[in-house]
Amino acid sequence: MNGGDEVAAAPAGPPQSLDWKFSQVFGERTAGEEVQEVDIISAIEFDKTGDHLATGDRGGRVVLFERTDTKDHGVPRRDLERMEYPIGRHPEFRYKTEFQSHEPEFDYLKSLEIEEKINKIRWCQTANGALFLLSTNDKTIKFWKVQEKKVKKISDMNLDPSKAVGNGSIASSSTPKLCLANGGSPDRSYNYLGNDFSFPPGGLPSLRLPVVVTSQETNLVARCRRVYAHAHDYHINSVSNNSDGETFISADDLRINLWNLEISNQSFNIVDVKPANMEDLTEVITSAEFHPTHCNTLAYSSSKGSIRVIDLRQSALCDSHAKLFEEPEAPGSRSFFTEIIASISDIKFARDGRYILSRDYMTLKLWDINMDSGPVATFQVHEYLRPKLCDLYENDSIFDKFECCLSGDGLRVATGSYSNLFRVFGCAPGSTEATTLEASKNPMRRQVQTPSRPSRSLSSITRVVRRGAENPGVDANGNAFDFTTKLLHLAWHPTENSIACAAANSLYMYYA
């Protein structure tokens, strides 16, 4: 600066809209290929480092992928990004392993089939190079350890194990033989180890017993460490592990249970919304998640569109909430579908724990946990479907449960839609980013930037509404809507602008 004059830095505007590119696809379908029900992906989750990705499917399998480009030029990728070092390669993952997590079961007491479909996967803290994760179906949660084990082989034998020698022929014989005293046999051939074996002249100098040795080869082994069963009368919709690394919660329609990872035969019921008379039931729990850093705080959503934050320090049974977040109903807007479309299908805490993102059928809402008067931003996802709610109710699509996710820096949110589309919105102050992408190798193929209009403001906090297209016969890009292809599950990489999403049995990955 000349003469000590300081130049005031211009205020930073909202971040630029991201340019999304296709990265990878696993399990891509060929044209006309029929999708098997068991292969449809039902859960996706990155671990905290972003170096591993897990998917679960309706066949009860868990598939793990690992990142292959974490090191470039000998320096970890994240360090290169901080140094603004040019990186030529995009994030890449490769198949690591898979295992059968759940099998179909039958509850004989209730005459109820329990399907093997994986509802949720959650990564736990790693230890000693092993990966740990929780997976759940409708009734049973399992704690898995995945570790590389060295292959053990038998070596140092007198005889060539590839030849049929020794008493193998005797052991394989099912016909009883007459034996004499001291193990002799009237059949001369049975006094030898085998018909094709003879001792070398002078006999064997020494007898070497087989030795099991550990080779340098390794293979991945998945082992179930714990099974947490018989704690839920209704279908489990959520599992969330605590920041203390020791406990986790599981939630069904009416109860939330607290578990210790090391104790599988007991859990503590911390939320119970079941009324004394089931006819008085007005709402159910739809999703639950622990705060990312406060081990005493968790949030759960309901079918009435409300989010409750509870504090485990207040009481053992947390039926009374510490905070309640809900948006008041607009007068005169009530209809038969009001409660159905208000039901929250998924909630996620932002990485810093300050915000909660919720997804209902029509919108994404961003809530500030310090402001319970209403959401700080609302993103319209399915507004153009409002005239078609009757059709959606008839074909049950109105009950589809779409997931949502936030970027690691908290500047963007994403959720899925029909026709294998997903939407990315900017939630930074002043941002008008509203991008629609298709889960295919050309994500921008049907891209039309949808207009964004800011809504009313409340004191110093701006509430924002992003709207999609208003034509009821088409989707946000002007294409005919396909309710049979829906993108329900997606996850945002914890540290980079990379999204993994599931379209039926295919896993698509994108980066920006």
Structure tokens at 279: 């006819």
Task: State the average pLDDT over residues 492-505.
Answer: 95
- Which of 476, 477, 301, 489 has the alpha carbon at shortest distance from 382? 476
Question: What is the percent of the chain with per-residue pLDDT over 90, rounded to a whole number?
Answer: 61
Report how far residue 239's alpha carbon sits from residue 486's, in angstroms, rounded to the nearest whole number.
23
> Tens digit of pLDDT for each residue in 175-203?
444 444 444 445 544 444 555 556 677 77
Strand partners, 347: 358
Nearest CA to 228 out of 254, 259, 251 is that of 259
348 and 432 Cβ atoms separated by less than 8 Å: no
pLDDT at site 297: 95
Q: Would you state the pLDDT for residue 91?
A: 81
d(CA 288, CA 401): 14
Average pLDDT, the chain: 82
State both tokens at 386.
């409002």
Measured at the alpha carbon of residue 422, what is the angle toward residues 337 and 494, in degrees to the nearest 5?
Answer: 115
pLDDT bin (cut points 50, 70, 90) of residue 83 is low
Average pLDDT over residues 390-404: 95
The separation between CA 493 and the C-alpha centre of its own chain, rounded to angstroms, equals 12
For residue 301, which of 312, 292, 309, 313 has the smallest C-alpha distance? 309
**Which of 423, 433, 446, 445 has the alpha carbon at shortest distance from 499?**
423
pLDDT band of 331, cuts 50, 70, 90 = confident
Instruction: Express each pLDDT in 21-48 by its tens digit.
Output: 999 999 988 777 888 999 999 999 999 9
Question: Which pLDDT value is given to residue 442?
Answer: 85
pLDDT, residue 333, reads: 73
Q: For residue 319, what pLDDT band results from cuts at 50, 70 and 90?
A: confident
Superfamily covering domain 22-70+88-141+226-448+480-511: YVTN repeat-like/Quinoprotein amine dehydrogenase (2.130.10.10)
Contact call for residues 92 and 67 (beta carbons, < 8 A): yes
Q: Which of 30-34, 164-168, 424-428 has the lowest average pLDDT?
A: 164-168
Inter-residue contact 490 to 403 (CB < 8 Å): yes
Helix (H, G, I), strand (E, B) or coil at 56: strand
- For residues 512 and 501, give the distance between their C-alpha atoms in angstroms, rounded to a whole number: 15
- CA dihedral in degrees (93, 94, 95, 101; nearest 10)? -20
CA pair distance 184, 190, nearest whole angstrom: 8
Return the number of other C-beta atoms located less than 10 Å from residue 499's C-beta: 27
Domain boundaries, the chain: 22-70+88-141+226-448+480-511
Least confident of 159-163, 209-213, 225-229, 328-332: 159-163
Lowest mean pLDDT among 8-17, 61-70, 251-260, 409-418: 8-17
Token pair belonging to 22: 């296709």
Give one DSSP letter per residue of 477-488, joined into a string: TSPBP-TTSB--
Q: What percent of the chain has pLDDT over 70?
A: 76
Joined together, the tokens standing for residue 451 give 């207009």
The pLDDT value given to residue 7: 46
The one-letter amino acid code at 109 reads L
Q: How does pLDDT run across 399-418, given as a tens digit for each residue? A: 999 999 999 999 999 999 99
pLDDT tops 90 at residue 132 = yes
Find the range with the poorest average confidence among 28-42, 175-189, 266-280, 339-353: 175-189
Q: What is the pLDDT of residue 75?
A: 53
Whole-angstrom Cα distance, residue 211 to residue 161?
A: 13
Q: How many CA atoms lie within 13 A of 461 on its CB side?
A: 13
Residue 159 has pLDDT above 80, yes or no: no
The answer to whether the beta carbons of residues 148 and 214 sit under 8 Å apart is no
Q: pLDDT-based confidence at 111, cuts 50/70/90?
A: confident
